[in-house]
Amino acid sequence: MKKTLLLILLLMSFFSLVGCRNEEEKIIQQEIEAFVKEYKSTLYSVDDPLNPPSSLEVSKNARHYLAKNEFETLMANRIFELASNTAKALNKQIVLEDVVLEKVTFNDDGGAWDCDITLKVKLYDQQSSEIIEKKGQLSIMRNSNEALMVVRDWEERIKVDGELL
């Protein structure tokens, strides 16, 4: 009788721990999704294609989302000017429509969440509108203040009417 009761208590404890972990993972995934949408919106927002934000403006807005090394890498690769240059060349506005997290896994070795993402970027003017899908990968960690930060950001490059986005 005691063994049965002990077994039941152990099983209940196990299931409650598993349930809490699943709930925690769901909350973390929602937090990461909101963070990624906010971060990518800074990169893909061009309201005025005739006067797009400079790469300095975009980098200033994106800086606090990024680890120092990743910020320097993206700056060196001129990532912060892609959307502005495309918007100006095509004379179209650009806005981030959606970010879909395809897969989020926790990397125990580095302590980062590795994410496969799909960006849906809308290019539009008064005559037309199109949504471009871009695949990418992010690695996200918590900094010393427990805030999320991007430690690796990679996206496929796509040509839209001859312009690199």
Burial class (CB in 10 A: 0-12, 13-18, 19+), 135: middle
- Sequence ranges of the domains in the chain: 10-164
Q: Are 118 and 100 in contact, with CB atoms under 8 Å apart?
A: yes
pLDDT the model gives residue 27: 79
Predicted TM-score of the model (pTM): 0.84
Query: What pLDDT, on the 0 to 100 scale, is given for residue 83?
Result: 97
pLDDT tens, the chain, 165 aa long: 666 655 565 555 555 544 545 667 777 889 999 999 999 999 999 999 999 999 999 999 999 999 999 999 999 999 999 999 999 999 999 999 999 998 888 888 778 999 999 999 999 999 999 999 999 999 999 988 889 999 999 999 999 999 999
Q: What are phi and psi of 137, to 5 degrees?
A: -140, 145
Q: Into which CATH architecture does domain 10-164 fall?
A: Roll (3.10)
Ramachandran quadrant class, 146 (left: phi over 0; alpha: psi -120 to 50; beta: rest): left
> Is residue 113 a contact partner of residue 105, using CB atoms and an 8 Å limit?
yes
What's the rounded Cα separation, in Å, for the pair 131 and 160?
11
The pair of structure tokens assigned to 129 is 């509108």
Closest CA to 45 of 33, 34, 57: 57
